[in-house]
Chain A
Amino acid sequence: MTSSVPVVPILAEIEAHQRRARLSFRLQSAGVWVGLAGALVFSLWVMGKIHPDFIGTWGPFILGGTWITVLVSASSILIATVLAVLGAIGRLSRNPLISGFAGLYVSLVRGTPLLVQIFFFFFVLPEFGVVLPAIPTGIVALSFNYGAYMTEIFRAGIQAVPIGQREAAESLGMPERLVMRRIVLPQAFRIVIPAIGNDFVAMIKDSALLSTIGVQELLWRAHTVGTRHFRTLETLLIAAAIYWVLTIVFSFFQERLERRMARGDR
């Protein structure tokens, strides 16, 4: 039983003190980060490598690419999750046709570079009659790729659910499909949430590869503007900073989600 209500007042004081100490440590670490990053930017400015008016003119345009990056990543992770659940169930299936197919998907996709897959979906697929505009192509390629990696994560998650759960459900007469849907998958999902969060953060950065097929996301904008005005240092710095901030923001939300899902375990 959790004791959120302290038995003795001194325990409350100790808890509050510990919380304050943690917060102060976090703030100081954040302060060090800001200080170091700020020092880097300042020294670049002193060297004359950064021009505030250039950043002022082109910042908004480059920033506009963030929306596309997040949109593509969010759509892809959702589709990839669906593919991963199907893939994991397929991998664990006793039917050799299904498990072989799922295993081939995982092996093939994990065995070829993401960039190759992106080019494949953009240039080769149309030869078979399927022509998608650049952004949907990008979403398909990213989901297809991440779905394979996440299949293995989901498979491990499903296998990590205690076998007693499945046995208890089956002894109650639950059909196989309901066991999976009602008992195993929800618990497996809770186990793999950190991994999905990780993959989402990784996908935000992998979405930069879509600049090769003309999607006007963050990197495309930064590189185009930088090359045109011979200011690649500044534009790439802006892009890197935005990717970094996105990563920090989404990691923070992931942490909150994890803590929320683990509440029942404490």
Chain B
Amino acid sequence: MRSNAAARSPLLIGTGGDSLREAFGRALVELAERYPRFVVFDADVAGGTGTHHFRRAYPERFFQFGIAEQNMLAAAAGFATTGLTPIVTTFAVFALRALEQIRLSIAYPGLDVKIVASHPGLDVGPDGASAQALEDLAAFRAIPQMTVISPADPFEVRLATEAILRHKGPVYMRTGRSPARAVFAGADRPLAEYPRSFEIGRGCVLRRGGDVTIVACGVEVARALDAAEILEGEGINATVVDMATLKPLDRSLLLECAERTGCFVTAEDHNVMGGLGGAVAEALTEAHPCPVEFIGVRDTFGQSGEPADLAEAYGLTGPFIAAAARRAIARKRGV
């Protein structure tokens, strides 16, 4: 019997289209020549993190560690001491598995290791709670010397990938599994032509309005823009901030927004505890106390389902953000 390889090879899910992880993998290939000191570490999930693009183009700069994240992360620390920059890629839950290695071996001596994790949040979808990291932003924020980034769309992921290569020191960056909506224009152009550069520690104002500020990261940025549209129809003007860097947080931008709008909504595909909402609340409580409403998963585990259905079920979509904005405005007015 003749074998038919094409017919037998399975259809891989999510490796096409404009997911953040695919954008990340393609960006690595684009950046490889200009940044010859970085290599990629993988723990048997190259197909899932986007790094399969890099493995194909630069096999000598791709290190396979097998399914062994603890060893991979601590090895990345040793590798970095030789003057090279390992970009360690895995799923966000498996980065959590090696959290202590990241804390002691990488962050404590401040080594130049970049941890880039795909499959964060409910955006993971049908794989269910075991694969949906809703705790990573909180955990990584709590580690001293760690920079924490969660870009909004494929365009921003590509810019952020170059930014973390230019930055010295440990970084944790989230990508995303599912096809993502574009927030920024021009994602189909080659990297060098992008008009805007990504600056670590600077939020990006996508819309300006005086009634409320919505601060979002990751997939929630597109949904925050949906909410702003809904609110505009009601005569409410929202400022929307893409806060891609959770740490160090852009406190001066938050203060400026606090003075202009006087109330906030935070939105993230993450537990409401300790992530973006926590970061914003900490900063505002200290510098400019005002009402803050939190959109995120309310301290519970996720479950299987399509990402859009999960976002609806757990209250992460535009209408939920808009409702939170109305609550924040009412609190501001003392209603």
Answer yes or no: are A and B bound together in one complex. no
Residues of B at under 8 Å CB distance from A? none
Residues of A at under 8 Å CB distance from B? none
